[in-house]
Amino acid sequence: MKWSDITLSQFQLINSINESKDFDEMDKLLYTTGAIFDFTENQMVDMGAEKVKKYIAKTTYLFEHPFQKKPYKRIGKYFLEYNIERLRFGQFVEITYFVQGDVLENAQSILASISHLPFLKNNSDNHRKISDYYLSKSVVQTMGALSCLLENYTEFNKEYSGLFELDEEGEDVEVKKDGFNETYGWIYSATQVAEHERITLEQAFDLPVRQALNDLSYLKAKRQYDENQMKKHGAINH
């Protein structure tokens, strides 16, 4: 058994087992072995202790030799775009939404947002279909792709420090949000872009991401300037 034989779906299951507080270390090892070799609990009981020990040894060996993460230009039939500047605003919004949750659990959804078939553009209408496709693909490929994308995503967002904030270690990016923003923020932001560009909301999501974020940065700066002017004139009038 090699890491390349393990699917993203299996890896997610393994991760949830090892993060669970309901299992002790031995239980985690047993359930992880079952997840890797696709054994049910009953099957492992039936095969006997000695045989189970051999599979556990293989599991232990596997985890002692982690896989290297590297980007893949193509996974199966889909090509991946790692250059954030080449994405549509809508793709960027999708990625941002899924990054705010559990990144590993949302890995397939994040990758679907940067994927396209040969000679075709990314189509958000096919997002669920593409997400499901990645669940059956090798964890070596999918996690390598995810790692590269998140690195580029973080670097790109550093250019928009007024719209985004990094955590203390700079590894993750979170959109500044409150209760309203978390639910409606991007729709509201896209509406602002659409009004500024004098286009429809759908067209706003199709804009190049940098153009849309530059619009938002300008609109935020203008709003702050207008507020400061109002305060200044208010102080003068008093």
Task: Give the other-Cβ count within 10 Å of 211's Cβ.
Answer: 14
Distance CA 64, CA 103 (A): 23
pLDDT tens for each residue of 142-153:
999 999 999 999
pTM recorded for the entire structure: 0.85
Does the pLDDT at position 192 exceed 50?
yes
Which long-range contacts (C-beta less than 8 Å, at least 24 apart) are formed by 186-191? 186/93, 186/96, 186/97, 189/216, 190/89, 190/93
Rank 17-26, 46-55, 126-135 by mean pLDDT and report only the highest.
126-135
- The string of DSSP letters for 117-139 reads -TTS---GGGHHHHHHHHHTSBH
Query: What is the tally of helices (H) and strands (E) in the chain?
Result: 11, 5
Rank 65-69, 100-104, 136-140, 231-235 by mean pLDDT and report only the highest.
136-140
Q: Residue 216 corresponds to which tokens in the numbers above?
A: 């938002």
Distance CA 108, CA 70 (A): 16
What is the chain's mean pLDDT, rounded? Answer: 88
Does the pLDDT at position 228 exceed 90?
no
Cβ atoms of 96 and 175 within 8 Å: the answer is yes
Instruction: Please give the share of the chain, as a percent, with pLDDT higher than 90.
Output: 67
The whole-number average pLDDT for the span 60-70 is: 93
Per-residue pLDDT band for 188 (boundaries 50, 70, 90) equals: confident
The whole-number average pLDDT for the span 177-187 is: 56
Cβ atoms of 10 and 35 within 8 Å: the answer is yes
> Residue 130's beta-bridge partner residues?
none
Per-residue pLDDT band for 73 (boundaries 50, 70, 90) equals: very high
Does the pLDDT at position 3 exceed 50?
yes
Domain locations in the chain as residue ranges? 3-64, 67-238
What pLDDT is recorded for position 1?
Answer: 81
